[in-house]
């Protein structure tokens, strides 16, 4: 499979989309850079799939623009957009063989037969399913079906690749290997790719950048590290990894309209004396490398994870403890 | 474990036995008493196959056989041509009046074929309105209603709803991602329809098409009304009802008809084997309906209106006839009057009452038995359960006249305590209609049950419900929509059933509408009145169907099974 | 809708009650008839008025289905009367011992109408009205197509009538069977069949119901129909632009009523027959929707001016004497011959006939003796019959249709032979006619 001449960027500006009274996407602005592996991450119902379908042309926005390679795609129907989409259900056609499925898009482009055959073989080779060309989709395992769906999409050499929760129908072990394959394939093709998922681990492990979405808005865009280290708001902080959130009500002072946010592993337990944050241990969990304590501070419970040392001193439930936190780890985020 | 399985299958076996008894008593026995004649020597009564040899040697019968095959096949082609655009437009586009189209598209089934043929002769016949106008304006005529083509024309209009209904349902049940994936890969429009939607809807289409093929193959009334006798079913009818001649050939042909029907059903099952494309994944829901561009919209409406005008032509003709004073060799009636309605209003109430009673009873019997057979076949391992299905489906192929004579033979000798023959009770008419329409309800019940995941029942059993309670609390509620659809089809078509009824009606006070129509239509002065009664029949059945449809839709929506 | 459903419930109850109560009535007379509502309703009303306490229960079936019904239900018969036009249906019932004899008491009934005895000589059925056969046509159709008006059967054989005539199959319609039998008896077997086939060469269609013919003529789908008179009269009564003529070779045949063997209400059945023959019953026949010819001569005094009167009108006097026994003896053969030689060979027959019409037209312009001879040969080929009159009534042929011992061949075999015979002759006739046409041009 030859690399596309040039990877393509996607520009999304001022998108608003409603189905009747439901406002599904609200003022969405986003830039996906050429060649990037990009994720839409968010809980179900946040609008991530709708945004993906908007790019593919299966949904129409009331306002705003989608630019592919600088060109507004609004007037283009789905079949003229050249964006490849892999559906969550794979949408393999049961009445066609694997090879026929992969050949479909090429036939629609009226390519010569020899060219079609060559590219079908290439695409199936690429996903390691050359031997299964004559089978029907129903005769394949879930992982194989997923790879056929990918092969079918990349066979047409799309400008961008859209993946709608492509791993959700696979078992846990398959997911890890398939996501590595996907990443490797994307790297090889240099194809701008958008990956929709609700699983932060998936997004973190394979994507260059992530847009975290909630209730139809994009809450933050950044690399996995940026999002983890410096979340822009409480939603992002708590959606990626666990975060402790404390406010006025918990007996501490924070700037007006802000909350104190920190990760459990950045805090340590100290003596009660002199500690600003203190309270009783309510729960203790042994996790192997660390021990996780729950501590009640004011009206909230926070988590503190401390490294486990053999023979080290352990606190028990009911002990009064102080919680120490380096100032550089304290985040004050808008409520 | 053994006792558990034992009690379970005991209940099922009892149910199966009851159904077998019903089918045996009201289908197999009466039909056998008639068609065994096909295997006996005339006059002598010795068993023989010579009659079948005679059938194969007689040029007329062979010609009739091929004519029937040709007409049935061409009807399927034309009916598909009418149904495809309607199904496609109403399921894939934002189309105002899609609901109306689907409903109007069902109306031809509600028209008794012989009445439709009279109306169509007046509109499309050699000297019907269309041809008189064509002749006047352009100096030529088109033989719409001539010979075999006329039969195909009428049958395609009459039976296309079977294809429309099945095809629309199949198209709606295709998961939207199937077509979106194709669009994403560059396919659209008719090509997308041909390459993806149509193959995936094939099972539904074949189910409808095979039904149409069999119905046309076995239909007597329409060819005879067009004076086409050289087809197989009319030949059987003419032989069986000819005066004073005891001719086994009529029954031989009946056996051939039943054989062809069974073979057709078997072949369609064979074609569909391994093609169960149940693609609906998460609550299903078909492709998002596309908006039509103004020009497309114009074209689409033009096509839909043209097709609807054609399929509703019999109704228009009937309406005109019901208000006509005299309509003879002219594009439109000479004058209009309400007299026909006045004449039938008094007579017709008894017909209407009988029709509503008989049709609802028959359709009720049908969905109970159809639902039970579908459950036994799809959900149990009972030995021989397939036979119930096959037996019930054979009813499709038994000519009405054969069933009618069979009932007289089998039940006229059975006396009630006061000496009246069993066959004179009106309930016998209901049973005959129920048997004739059972295959429709059975198909609907199958479709309904197939759409329910077994896991829903397993969940109920897992939570402690017995088989019987699971059926009552989970299966039946979920099947309601499908069963109602079956009820509607059975009811509507039962209301226009004539061939068996004609043999079984014992008195005017027990007669249903179709009989009243038939009697009126046999007199010069009765044509207008018959048409008025026909209009009343169509309106009443259409209202009942509309109400049932509404109820079905509502129950679907309440259960969140939006289709 | 609410009212409708209470209606239905009430009806259900009503029907159940009626089913129980019906048999308690003593005055119920059940009649199986081929007559339409137009005929039965006025007579039912008049009968129930004339005989208080009696009700007439009408089961409407076509003649064939009626015979079949009475036959199938004889084990537990519930029918009192059989009431229809075609005498041969009664002959069939009589032969199967499904009728019981009854001699009407009514006085003043004519012995003969035309030259046909009104009553069965064995007393199994009685005539109550007469009907004759003839030709009806649609005036608008005839005018639009500039066609002539017919007077005789022979007229229908001529070129202008090609593709404009309709008839019902004699095997399907007792009345048409009598029409054909009338022609056969009037002109003799061979000549009669020649006429029949020459008319048939001009046929547009052969219907399977008697009513199919007047229906097609009334609506203007065909121009001419060979029908029993009352179809034309009642069509005129309903306002259709149709006319009717009795050809000189016709017969008046009574419409009959007979008591079914083991009738449950024999007294009621007799009362109905007496009513039909009474002056009141006879006058009811003059109703515009019925229009049958009464068998009581004095009733005609009350008829409209142009009403045909078989006891006075010259053209209905001295008609052919119809031989019902002869008709019965060969009825199956005649019906089957018509079906196999005409109904199911209509296309080849019409093709040959059309070619002959063209030959005639060419010869009228320029005579050619050789062509004339060829055309005559072609006509003879069409006319030739596979069996003679004697064979048609022979025990061998009759047994083939009834399944008797004497049969020489099965019915199916005879049918195959006759169909093949007709096909071959018509093809040969067409070839000869084509040849003649070449010569004549």
| SS3 category, A162 | strand
Just give the CATH number of B2-561. Answer: 1.10.3720.10
Average pLDDT over residues B46-75: 91
pLDDT classification of B492: cutoffs 50, 70, 90: confident
The number of beta carbons lying within 10 Å of the beta carbon of residue C24 is 8
The two most distant CA atoms of chain C are separated, in Å, by 82
pLDDT at B563: 34
Query: A84 touching B, CB under 8 A?
Result: yes
CA separation, residue B490 to residues B208, B240, B542 (Å): 15, 27, 13
Model confidence at B412: pLDDT above 80: no
* C2 found inside a domain: no
| Shared-domain flag, residues C51 and C167 | no
Q: Strands, DSSP E only, in C85-179?
A: 99-100, 112-113, 116-117, 125-138, 165-168
- Determine the Cα–Cα distance for residues A95 and A87; give it in Å rounded to an integer: 18
Tokens 């309906």: give the residue.
B289
Q: pLDDT: is B249 or B525 the higher one?
A: B249
Under a CB-based contact definition with an 8 Å cutoff, are residues B201 and B152 in contact? no
Half-sphere exposure of B435 (CA within 13 A, CB side): 32
**In this predicted structure, what is the pLDDT of residue B3?**
46
Helix axes B59-92 and B147-172, enclosed angle (nearest 10):
40
In percent, the amount of chain A with pLDDT more than 70 equals 98
Task: Judge if C55 and C124 occupy the same domain.
Answer: yes
Residues 6+ apart with CB under 8 A from C174: B243, C34, C63, C84, C85, C86, C87, C88, C89, C210
Task: Please write the tens of the pLDDT for every residue from A245-279.
Answer: 888 777 677 777 788 888 888 888 888 777 778 88
At C107 the three-state DSSP class reads: coil
Touching chains, A (3+ CB pairs < 8 A): B
Nearest to B185 among A58, A88, A105 (CB): A105
Task: Give the Cα separation of B58 and B55 in Å (integer).
Answer: 5
What local confidence, expressed as pLDDT, does residue B558 receive?
A: 54
Query: Does residue A93 belong to the interface with chain B, where contact is any CB pair within 8 Å?
Result: yes
Distance CA A26, CA A83 (A): 23
| Nearest C-alpha neighbor of A34 from the set A72, A7, A60 | A7
Contact list, A156 vs chain B (CB under 8 Å): 185-186
Q: What is the pLDDT of residue C2?
A: 36
Question: Following DSSP, what letter does each residue of A53-71 receive, concatenated?
Answer: HHHHTSS--SEEEEEETTE
Chains C and B touch (3+ CB pairs under 8 A): yes
Q: Is A91 on the interface with B (CB under 8 A)?
A: yes
Q: If you count them, how many residues does chain C have? A: 441
Nearest alpha-carbon partner for A162 in A278, A54, A244? A54
Q: Name every chain C residue with its beta carbon within 8 A of the beta carbon of B353.
A: 7-8, 11
Contact B443, B486 (CB under 8 A): yes
Contact C15 B413 (CB under 8 A): no
Q: What CATH code is carried by the domain that includes residue C300?
A: 3.40.190.10
Residues 6+ apart with CB under 8 A from A239: A41, A42, A43, A200, A212, A214
Nearest CA to B224 out of C215, C60, C178 is that of C215
The whole-number pLDDT of residue B281 equals 46
Q: Of C284, C316, C348, which residue constitutes the final position of a domain?
A: C316
Please determine, for residue B477, whether its predicted confidence score (pLDDT) is greater than 60. Answer: yes
* Pair type for strands C81-84 and A217-222: unpaired
**pLDDT tens string A170-192:** 787 878 888 888 888 888 888 89
Average pLDDT (B410-430) is 79
Is residue C264 pLDDT above 60, yes or no? yes
pLDDT for res C247: 86
Mean pLDDT across chain C = 85
- Note whether C142 and C286 are same-domain residues: no
Torsion, Cα B348 B349 B350 B351, to 10 degrees, reads 50
> Strand A268-270 vs strand A258-262: parallel, antiparallel, or unpaired?
unpaired
Residue C273 counted as domain residue:
yes
- The answer on pLDDT for B283 being more than 70 is no
Residue that terminates a domain, selected from C316, C338, C355: C316
pLDDT in tens, C57-96: 888 887 777 888 888 888 888 899 999 887 778 888 888 8
| Number of domains composing chain C | 2
pLDDT at C318: 61
Least confident segment among A15-19, B114-118, B282-286, B485-489:
B282-286
Do the Cβ atoms of C212 and B227 come within 8 Å?
A: yes
Of A87, A95, A109, the CB nearest to B186: A109
Quick one: C258 and C247 in the same domain? no
C155 lies in the same domain as C101: no
Give the per-residue SS3 of A117-133. Answer: HHHHHHHHHHCCCHHHC
Q: Are C268 and C164 within one domain?
A: no
- The distance of A108 to chain B (nearest Cα, Å) reads 6
Give the residue from B13, B7, B27, B18 showing the smallest Cα distance to B390.
Answer: B27
Structure tokens at C51: 């005989």
Sheet containing A217-222: which strands, arranged edge to edge? A83-86, A160-164, A192-197, A37-41, A209-214, A217-222
Q: Report yes or no: B433 and B500 within 8 Å, Cβ to Cβ.
A: yes
What is the band of B246 on the pLDDT scale with cuts at 50, 70, 90?
Answer: low
The ipTM (two decimal places) reads 0.81
Helix or strand or coil: residue C180? helix
Q: B314 with B108: CB under 8 angstroms? A: yes
Which residue from A minimizes the CA distance to B290? A58
B415 lies within 8 A of chain C by CB = yes
Question: CA-CA distance, C70 to C78, in Å (whole number)?
Answer: 9
Q: What is the pLDDT of residue C208?
A: 85
Q: Could you tell me if C117 and C211 lie in one domain?
A: no
Q: Is A159 exposed, middle or buried (0-12, 13-18, 19+ CB in 10 A)?
A: buried
B100-146 per-position pLDDT tens digit: 787 788 788 888 777 888 888 889 988 889 999 998 899 888 888 88
User: pLDDT at position B368, please?
Assistant: 92
Beta carbons of C414 and C383 less than 8 angstroms apart:
no
| Nearest chain B alpha carbon to A55 | B184
Q: Does the structure show a pLDDT above 90 at C199? A: yes
Query: Of C440, C268, C287, whose CA–CA distance to C364 is shortest?
Result: C440
Q: What is the torsional sign of CA C337, C352, B64, C199?
A: negative
Interchain touch A–C (≥3 Cβ pairs closer than 8 Å) = no
Residues C330 and C391 in one domain: yes
Please tell me if residue C60 touches chain B, with a CB cutoff of 8 Å: yes
Local confidence band at C204 (pLDDT 50, 70, 90 cut-offs)? very high
Rounded distance between C-alpha atoms, residue A34 and residue A36, angstroms: 5
pLDDT score, position C10: 38
Residue C68 structural domain: 25-131+254-316
Q: What is the model's pLDDT at position B369?
A: 93
The verdict on A178 touching B (C-beta cutoff 8 Å) is no
Query: Does a structural domain hold residue C415?
Result: yes
Q: Are residues C35 and C117 in the same domain?
A: yes
pLDDT tens digits, A220-247: 999 998 888 888 888 888 888 888 888 8
Do the Cβ atoms of B186 and A88 come within 8 Å? no
Residue C81 lies in a domain: yes
Q: Of C276, C296, C316, which marks where a domain is finished?
A: C316
- Residue B62 CA from chain centroid, whole number: 27
**What's the average model confidence in pLDDT over C395-400?**
87
Please answer yes or no on whether B183 and A94 come within 8 Å at the CB atom: no
- CA B10, CA B380: separation in Å to the nearest integer? 12
Report which secondary-structure segment, H or E, holds C30.
Answer: strand C28-33
Measure A184 CA to nearest chain B CA, in Å: 23
Across the interface, whether the CB atoms of B177 and A88 are under 8 A apart is answered yes
* Residue keyed to tokens 């066979």: A155
* Residue pointed to by tokens 């009783």: A280
pLDDT at C425: 95
Mean pLDDT of chain B: 82
> Could you read off the pLDDT of A304-318 as tens digits, one per residue?
888 888 777 788 888
Span of A41-45, B329-333, B399-403, C367-371 with lowest mean pLDDT: B399-403
B524 and C218 in contact by Cβ < 8 A? yes
Are C353 and C262 in the same domain? no
Q: What is the mean pLDDT of residues C126-145?
A: 91
Range 425-484 of B in CB contact (< 8 A) with C: 425-426
B54 to C416: CB separation less than 8 angstroms, yes or no: yes
Summarised one tens digit per residue, pLDDT across range A92-102 is: 888 888 999 99
Angle between helices C87-95 and C63-72 (to 10 degrees): 20
Q: Tell me the HSE value of C116 on the side-chain side, using a 13 A CA sphere.
A: 30
Are C112 and C151 members of one domain?
A: no
Residues C338 and C417 in one domain: yes
Partners of B199 on chain A (C-beta within 8 Å) are 93, 95
From chain A, pick out residues whose CB is under 8 angstroms from the CB of B277. Answer: 94-95
CB contact (8 A) between residue C208 and residue B42:
no
Which tokens go with C46? 């008049």
Answer for the pair A231, A219: CB distance below 8 angstroms, yes or no. Answer: no
Q: Residue B245 is nearest to which of C36, C75, C332, comparing CB atoms?
A: C332
Top pLDDT among B94 and C105 is at: C105
């Amino acid at each position: 499979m030859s690399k596309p001449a040039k990877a393509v960027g996607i520009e999304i500006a001022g998108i608003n989309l409603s189905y009747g009274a439901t406002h599904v996407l609200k003022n969405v602005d986003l830039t996906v850079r050429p060649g990037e592996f990009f994720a839409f991450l968010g809980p179900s119902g946040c609008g991530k799939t709708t945004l993906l379908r908007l790019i593919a042309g299966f949904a129409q926005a009331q306002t705003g623009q989608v630019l592919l390679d600088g060109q507004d795609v609004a007037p283009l129907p789905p079949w003229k957009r050249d964006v490849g989409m892999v559906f969550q259900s794979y949408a393999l056609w049961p009445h066609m063989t694997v090879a026929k499925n992969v050949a479909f898009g090429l036939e629609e482009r009226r390519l010569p037969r020899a060219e079609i055959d060559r590219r079908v073989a290439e695409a199936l080779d690429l996903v390691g399913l050359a031997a299964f060309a004559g089978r029907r989709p129903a005769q394949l395992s879930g992982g194989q079906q997923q790879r056929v769906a990918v092969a079918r999409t990349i066979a047409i050499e799309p400008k961008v690749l859209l993946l709608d929760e492509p791993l959700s129908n696979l078992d846990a072990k398959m997911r890890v290997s398939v996501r590595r394959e996907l990443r490797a394939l994307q790297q090889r093709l240099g194809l701008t790719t958008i990956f929709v998922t609700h699983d932060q681990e998936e997004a973190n492990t394979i994507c260059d950048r992530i847009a975290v979405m909630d209730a139809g808005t994009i809450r933050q865009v950044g690399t996995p590290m940026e999002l983890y280290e410096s979340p822009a708001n409480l939603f992002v902080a708590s959606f990626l990894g666990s975060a402790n959130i404390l406010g006025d009500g918990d007996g501490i002072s924070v700037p007006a309209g802000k909350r104190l946010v920190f990760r459990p592993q950045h805090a340590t337990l100290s003596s009660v004396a002199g500690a600003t944050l203190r309270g009783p241990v309510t729960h203790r969990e042994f996790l192997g490398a660390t021990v996780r304590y729950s501590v009640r501070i004011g009206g909230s419970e926070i988590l503190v994870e401390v490294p486990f040392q053999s023979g080290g001193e352990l606190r028990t439930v009911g002990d009064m403890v102080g919680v120490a936190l380096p100032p550089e780890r304290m985040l004050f985020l808008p409520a | 474990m053994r006792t558990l399985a034992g009690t379970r299958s005991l209940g099922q076996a009892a149910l199966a036995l009851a159904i077998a008894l019903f089918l045996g008593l009201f289908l197999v026995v009466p039909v056998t008493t008639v068609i065994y004649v096909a295997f006996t020597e005339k006059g002598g009564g010795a068993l023989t196959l010579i009659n079948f040899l005679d059938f194969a040697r007689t040029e007329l019968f062979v010609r009739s056989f091929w004519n029937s095959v040709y007409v049935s096949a061409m009807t399927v082609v034309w009916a598909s041509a009418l149904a495809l655009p309607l199904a496609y437009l109403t399921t894939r586009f934002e189309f105002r009046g899609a609901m109306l189209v689907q409903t109007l598209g069902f109306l031809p089934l509600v028209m008794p074929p012989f009445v439709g043929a009279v109306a169509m002769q007046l509109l499309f016949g050699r000297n019907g309105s269309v041809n008189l106008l064509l002749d006047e304006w352009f100096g030529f005529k088109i033989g719409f209603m001539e010979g075999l083509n006329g039969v195909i024309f009428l049958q395609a209009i009459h039976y296309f709803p079977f294809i429309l209904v099945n095809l629309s349902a199949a198209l709606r049940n295709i998961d939207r991602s199937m077509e979106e994936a194709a669009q994403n890969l560059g396919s659209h429009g008719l090509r997308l329809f041909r390459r993806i939607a149509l193959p995936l809807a094939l099972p539904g289409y074949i189910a409808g098409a095979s039904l149409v093929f069999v119905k046309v193959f076995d239909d007597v009334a329409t060819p005879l009304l067009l004076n086409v006798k050289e087809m197989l079913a009319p030949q059987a009818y003419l032989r069986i009802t000819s005066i004073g001649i005891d001719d086994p050939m009529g029954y031989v042909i009946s056996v051939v008809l039943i054989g062809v029907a069974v073979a057709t059903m078997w072949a369609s099952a064979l074609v569909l084997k391994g093609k169960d494309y149940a693609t609906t994944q998460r609550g299903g829901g078909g492709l998002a309906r596309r908006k039509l561009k103004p020009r497309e919209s114009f074209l689409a409406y033009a096509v839909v209106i043209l097709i609807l005008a054609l399929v509703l032509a019999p109704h228009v003709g009937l309406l005109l006839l019901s208000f006509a004073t005299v309509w003879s060799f002219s594009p439109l009636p000479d004058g209009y009057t309400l007299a026909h309605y006045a004449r039938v209003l008094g007579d017709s109430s008894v017909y209407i009452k009988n029709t509503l009673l008989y049709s609802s009873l028959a359709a009720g019997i049908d969905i109970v038995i159809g639902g039970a057979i579908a459950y036994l076949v799809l959900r149990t391992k009972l030995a021989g359960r397939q036979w119930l299905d096959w037996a019930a489906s054979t009813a499709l192929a038994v000519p009405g006249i054969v069933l009618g004579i069979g009932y007289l033979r089998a039940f006229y000798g059975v006396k009630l305590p006061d000496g009246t023959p069993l066959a004179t009770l009106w309930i016998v008419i209901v049973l005959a209609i129920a048997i004739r329409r059972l295959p429709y309800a059975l198909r609907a019940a199958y479709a309904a049950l197939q759409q329910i995941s077994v896991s829903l029942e397993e969940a109920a059993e897992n939570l402690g419900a017995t088989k019987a309670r699971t059926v009552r609390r989970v299966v039946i509620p979920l099947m309601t929509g499908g069963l109602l659809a079956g009820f509607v089809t059975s009811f509507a078509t039962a209301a226009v059933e004539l061939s068996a009824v004609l043999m079984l009606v014992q008195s005017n006070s027990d007669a249903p509408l179709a009989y009243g129509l038939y009697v009126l239509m046999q007199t010069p002065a009765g044509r207008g009145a018959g048409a008025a009664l026909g209009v009343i029949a169509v309106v009443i059945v259409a209202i009942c169907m509309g109400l049932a449809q509404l109820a079905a839709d509502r129950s679907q929506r309440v259960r969140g099974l939006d289709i | 809708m609410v009212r409708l459903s209470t209606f239905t419930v009430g009806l259900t109850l009503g029907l159940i009650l009626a089913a129980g109560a019906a048999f308690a009535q003593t005055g119920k007379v059940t009649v199986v008839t081929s007559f339409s509502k137009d005929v039965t309703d006025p007579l039912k009303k008049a009968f129930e008025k004339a005989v208080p306490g009696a009700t007439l229960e009408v089961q409407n079936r076509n003649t064939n289905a009626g015979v079949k019904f009475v036959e199938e239900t004889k084990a537990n018969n519930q029918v009192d009367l059989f009431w229809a036009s075609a005498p041969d249906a009664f002959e069939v019932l009589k032969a199967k011992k499904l009728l019981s004899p009854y001699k009407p008491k009514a006085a003043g009934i004519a012995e003969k109408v035309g030259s046909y005895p009104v009553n069965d000589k064995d007393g199994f059925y009685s005539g109550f009205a007469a009907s004759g056969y003839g030709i009806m046509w649609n005036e608008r159709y005839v005018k639009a197509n500039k066609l002539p008006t017919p007077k005789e059967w022979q007229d229908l054989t001529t070129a202008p009538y090609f593709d404009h005539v309709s008839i019902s199959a004699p095997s399907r319609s007792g009345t048409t069977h009598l029409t054909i039998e009338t022609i056969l008896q009037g002109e003799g077997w061979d000549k009669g069949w020649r006429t029949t086939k020459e008319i048939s060469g001009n046929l547009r269609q052969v219907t399977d119901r008697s009513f199919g013919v007047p229906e097609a003529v009334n609506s203007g789908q065909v121009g001419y129909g060979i029908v029993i008179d009352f179809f034309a009269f009642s069509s005129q009564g309903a306002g259709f632009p149709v006319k009717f003529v009795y050809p000189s070779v016709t017969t008046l045949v009574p419409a009959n009523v007979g008591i079914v063997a083991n009738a449950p209400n024999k007294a009621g059945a007799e009362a109905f027959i007496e009513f039909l023959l009474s002056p009141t019953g006879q006058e009811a026949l003059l109703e515009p929707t019925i229009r049958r010819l009464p068998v009581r001569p004095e009733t005609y005094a009350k008829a409209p001016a142009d009403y045909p009167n078989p006891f006075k009108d010259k053209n209905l006097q001295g008609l052919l004497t119809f031989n019902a026994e002869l008709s019965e003896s060969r009825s199956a053969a005649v019906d089957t011959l018509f079906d196999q030689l005409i109904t199911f060979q209509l296309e080849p027959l019409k093709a040959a006939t059309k070619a002959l019409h063209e030959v005639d037209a060419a010869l009228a312009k320029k005579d050619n003796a050789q062509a004339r001879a060829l055309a005559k040969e072609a006509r003879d080929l069409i006319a030739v019959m596979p069996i003679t009159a004697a064979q048609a009534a022979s025990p061998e042929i009759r047994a083939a249709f009834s399944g008797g011992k004497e049969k020489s061949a099965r019915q199916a075999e005879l049918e195959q032979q006759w169909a093949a015979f007709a096909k071959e002759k018509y093809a040969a006739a067409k070839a000869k006619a084509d040849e003649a046409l070449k010569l004549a041009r």
